[in-house]
Structure 1
């Protein structure tokens, strides 16, 4: 199979090297100008500051304590095994009471 009549028979457009080089130069000048503007902006005096809210500070402390807490690996392994074998049973009433107590401690309300 041959392909004929490329470009609908019209002659191939010639490349104007001078116009192409002018476009490339204009593009390069624009990029250089943008880079200089960015450099000038970063050279100025920086007055940025960061402050953490009290809740963010508390969250940070809780996360730090969580990573420092000791882990009873033997108990973790025992629970994993019980869950995988289907032997671990959950008491819904006890779970609901514990969730309620935790929420009251967190939000300062009575359970």
Structure 2
């Protein structure tokens, strides 16, 4: 009596072909990933910064203040007066100047 071979040997090459195809697909995917990483590594990043209008104005004011002339003699005189305890603040004059500055800043007319 002849027994038919259920596993006729055809499946083994098919399984091997499937495995080979999977390995090739994985190899191609890995190669693509490596190529993308290499491309992104060589492409320079382009970072950007944007400043608000307030920040731009503040920057301009800081530049102007750095360029402003300083009366070093007057500064030294005031430092010495403060260190010696001789400098006195007139509260009425200070309050008027603060009020005037606020009016200028906020556009209020006196």
**TM-score grouping bracket, smaller chain normalisation:** 0.5 to 0.7
**Structure 1 residues 84 and 47: CA distance shift in structure 2, 3 A:** closer
C-alpha RMSD over aligned residues: 2.5
Q: Which ranges of 4 or more aligned residues in structure 1 deviate by more than 3 Å?
A: 37-49
**Are 1:103 and 2:102 matched, yes or no?**
yes
- Which protein, 1 or 2, shows the higher relative CO under an 8 Å CA cutoff with sep ≥ 6? 1
Q: Which has the larger radius of gyration?
A: 2
Q: Which runs of 5+ in 2 are unaligned?
A: 1-35
Count of residue pairs brought into register by the alignment: 75
Unaligned runs of 5+ in 1: 1-36
Could you state the TM-score of these two structures normalised by the residue count of structure 2?
A: 0.55
* Cα separation, 1, equivalents of 2:37 and 2:91: 61
Q: Distance in 1 between matches of 2:102 and 2:38?
A: 52
* Residue deviations 1:24-50 (CA, integer Å, cap 9, x gap): xxxxxxxxxxxxx98765556856433
The two structures have a TM-score, normalised by structure 1, of 0.55
